Structure 1
Amino acid sequence: MRNSKIQVPVDGGGVISGTLWEPADNAHATLVIHPATATPERFYAGFAAFLAGNGIAAVTYDYRGTGGSGSPRVHRHLGMRDWMEGDVPAAAAWAAERFPGLPRLAIGHSLGGHALSLGNGTAGLTAFALLASHAGTARAVPDPVERFRVRLLLHVLGPALGAVLGYVPARRLGLGEDIPAAAMRQWGGWARLPRYFFDDPAMRARERAATVTQPVLAIGFTDDPWATPEQVDFLTSHLTAANVERRTYSPADGGVARIGHHGFLRRGVQETLWPEVVTWLSKHAQSAPR
C-alpha cells in the first residue's frame, strides 16, 4: 500500500486537500470517503489503508475551511450545503478521472452521507455506503442531557462564537475540527427543523433523494447518541428509487465496549465490522459492468 497527497480544485473557488491510498497491485475499484462535519481526514486513515489492502484505491480529504483544506476564518462564508454540493462532487470527479474504467464506490460518514443521499457526487457510482447518517434534528436526540448539550452548542455557543470570531472553535467545544461560521449557522438551522433539511425548501431534499438509484448500505449503531435507528430510517426512507440495505450494529457485534457516532472508523472493529462492509462494497464492484 502507498499513499500520496492530492489537491483537488472545487468549482466556484478553493481547493480541498486529501490523500490517495493505493494498493500495492492494481486496484479493482476506487472509493471516496466523504467525511463527517468537523472530522479530520486523518481520522479515516486506518480504514482507507484497510481498503487499499483489499484492492480498493481510496481517497480521503478535508472539506474547505477545515483541517488541511484552509482556514475556517478565511472560508467563513462556506456552509454545509457548499460542502455537499461543491466539495463532494469535486472529490468524486477527481477519483473518476484518476481511475477511468474502474468501478466507483463511496462511503459517506454523517454529513458525507447526507450529500450522497441527495445525489451529490453519485454520477457514475456503482454503489455507496452511509455510515451513521441520519436526519439530525436536535429534538430527536433521545438522551435529555445530550439533547441539551447539542442545542447549547448548535443554537447558542457555536453561532455566537462564529459571529464574533468568523469561525467556530469546534475543537475547544469538543466537536472536532474548527469549522466556518456559515457551516455552524446552517447546521444549527437545520437541527431546529422537525425533519432536518427535508424541511428546508431551498434544499429540495425529497426530490433529490428520490433520484438516487444506486444500491445503498445504510449502517447505524445501537449506542450512537445522535444517529438513532429511527433517524437513520427516516433519512433512507426518502431513497425511494434505491435498493437500501440496513444494518445496525451493537458494540458487542464489533467486540468493543463502545462504537457511538465515530467508533466504526477506529481500529478496534477492524477484524469484526470492517470486513463485512468491504465485502459488500467489493461484491457490487465485481458485478459492475465493465
Structure 2
Amino acid sequence: MNTMDSTPQTIPATDGYPLGATFWAAAGTPQGVVVMHPATGVPQRIYQAFAQFLAARGFHAITYDYRGIGASRPKTLRGFAARMRDWMLLDAEGVTRWARAEYPDLPQLAVGHSVGGHGIGMCGAGWGLAGAVLVACHTGNSRFIRQRGERWRVELILRGVGPALARLMGYVPGKRMGLGEDLPGGVAIEWGAWAGMQRYFFDDPTLGAVERFNRVTNPVLVYGFDDDPWATPPAINALTQHFTNTWVERRQIARAEAGGAVGHMGFFRPKFVDTLWPGLADWLAAQAAAVRVPDAAEAA
C-alpha cells in the first residue's frame, strides 16, 4: 500500500479550532466514509496503515489529531486551554460533521480506539451513523485492571503524577515519561478527575454522558483482547452497558486467534492485516450496504 491517494486536510472543530487531518480516498466506487477517532495522546500516523487498508477495501477514510496532539498541536502546550471533553464534544463532532457535509450520499461510519470510542458515544453528529466499531474502549477506572502493579501504576499516573505535572508545568510531558504524546494540562486534569469517579465520566453531572450514550441507535461492534491490561471485559462492560437503545456485538479476541500479542495499542499494527482487519472491514461493509440507497444508474 502507498500514500499516493492521501490528502492532508484542515478540518474545523465545532468551535472553529483547526484540526490536522488526512483523507484517504477509496479505491474504486466508495461504499462509505469511515472517520477514525484516535486514542488518548496517539497521533493519527499510528492509524495510517489501517486507513490505507480501508481505502483499498472501498471506503473513504479520515484520520485526524485531537487538539493539542500531533498535527493539531499549537506551538506550545503551556497555557493551552483544552479538556478531554473537548476532544469528544468539539473535535470528534467537527470531523464527523465535515465527513457528512462532504459526502452526504454515502453511509457514515466510525472506528474509535480507546477514548475514540467515548467520542462516538458522546458525539451528537454521530448519532445517525450506519455503524460504529469500538476497539479497546473502556471506562478509565483502575479497579478493573487485574494486575496489582499495573493498577497502582495507572492510578499514580491518572490521579497523581499527571494532574500534578499539568498544574505545575501547564501540560504533561508524555514523551519524556514514555506515555506517548505530550498532553494538554486540562486534558490530564479532567481525565484524572473522571478516573476517581465510580462510573467514570458517567458520574460527571456537567457532561450528560448517560443521556448521550442513550441516543446512539446505530449498530455497535466492540473489540476486546484477552491480553489488554486496561480494557478488560468488566471495564468494557462498564462503558458499553450505556448503549441502551441499540444492538451491541462483542468480539473478545484471544492472542492465539489474533496471531500475536495485541494488548491495548496493537490492533492497528500492520501485522494484523490478514487476521484482525478483514473482519472489521467486512462488518463495516455490511452496515454500509444495509443503509445505502442505490443511485439512479444502479437502480436502472
Same fold (TM over 0.5): yes
Equivalent residues in 2 for 1:105-184 (5 A)? 105-184=109-188
Question: Which ranges of structure 2 fall in alignment gaps of 5 or more residues?
Answer: 294-300
Q: Name the stretch that deviates more: 185-194 or 22-31.
A: 22-31
Picking from 200, 223, 226, the partner of 1:222 is 226
Per-residue deviation, 1:152: 1.5
Of 239, 243, 246, the residue aligned with 1:242 is: 246
1:85 aligned counterpart, secondary structure: helix
Aligned to 1:261: 264
Preserved contact between residue 65 and residue 75 of structure 1 (Cα < 8 Å): no
8 Å Cα contact 2:106-2:292 kept in structure 1: no
What's the Cα RMSD here? 1.4
TM-score of the two chains, using structure 1 as the length reference = 0.96
Separation in structure 1 between the aligned mates of residue 79 and residue 25 of structure 2, nearest angstrom: 30
- Please tell me the residue identity of whatever aligns with 2:184: P
Percent of aligned pairs with the same amino acid = 44
Contact 2:20 2:65 in 1 (8 A): yes
CA distance in 2, matches of 1:91, 1:56: 16
Cα displacement (A) at 1:123: 3.7
* Distance in 2, Cα, partners of 1:168 & 1:120: 29
Confirm or deny: 8 A CA contact 2:127 2:217 kept in the other structure. Answer: no
> Where does residue 54 of structure 2 map in the other structure?
51
1:96 CA drift (Å): 1.2
What corresponds to 2:9 in structure 1?
6
Relative to the length of structure 2, the TM-score reads 0.93
Give 1:219 shift. 0.8
Q: Which residue of 1 aligns with 2:107?
A: 103
Q: Is the 8 A contact 1:142 1:225 kept in 2?
A: yes
Q: Could you list the per-position Cα deviations for residues 238-272 of structure 1 after superposition, in whole angstroms to 9, with x for gaps in the alignment?
A: 1110111011111211111x111111010111100
**Mean CA deviation greater in 162-171 or 265-274:** 162-171
Q: For 2:153 and 2:80, how far apart are their aligned partners in 1?
A: 24
The amino acid that maps onto 1:138 is S
Distance in 2, Cα, partners of 1:100 & 1:11: 18
The count of corresponding residues between Structure 1 and Structure 2 is: 289
| 2:33 counterpart letter in structure 1 | T
